[in-house]
Amino acid sequence: MTELTELKCEACQAGAPKISEEELAKLMKQIPDWSLPVRDGVMQLERAYDFKNFKLAWAFANRVAELAESEFHHPSILLEWGKVTVTWWTHAINGLHRNDLIMAAKTDALLDS
């Protein structure tokens, strides 16, 4: 199975298909620390990262923002003292696209780099 971190986001327009339950279940195995909240009927991918202080959390939030811009696919980023909560979903389809799983895996990979 191709690693999500090796994939690139595809341009995503309204009308693009949401990820299937089957593919979601398969790919979630690569991002086990992420949860799947549903907010206002929109399924999202979410993970909270803990840090020793605000400055380290802030630096990580900046790297997530850089990553998002590089792929032109953008998350919600909540920056708090010692914590960053990242939430991915695809606005254009009000749900999850494979792009969101790719970006979640790439977000995790920032911790190793």
Interface residue list for ligand H2B (CB under 6 A) = 12, 72-74, 90-92
Which residues have a Cβ under 8 Å from the Cβ of 40 and sit 6 or more positions away? none
CB nearer ligand H2B, residue 7 or residue 92: 92
The type of residue at 107 is T
Per-residue tokens: 5: 């971190």
Using only C-alpha atoms, the chain has a radius of gyration, in whole angstroms, of: 14
Residue 9 Cβ, how far from ligand H2B at the closest point, in Å?
Answer: 9
CB nearer ligand H2B, residue 49 or residue 99: 99
Residue 25 Cβ, how far from ligand H2B at the closest point, in Å?
Answer: 21
Residue 53 Cβ, how far from ligand H2B at the closest point, in Å?
Answer: 28
Per-residue tokens: 70: 């590089």
Closest C-alpha to 90, from 3, 13, 24: 13
Place of tokens 């327009």: 13
CB nearer ligand H2B, residue 56 or residue 65: 65
CB nearer ligand H2B, residue 7 or residue 12: 12
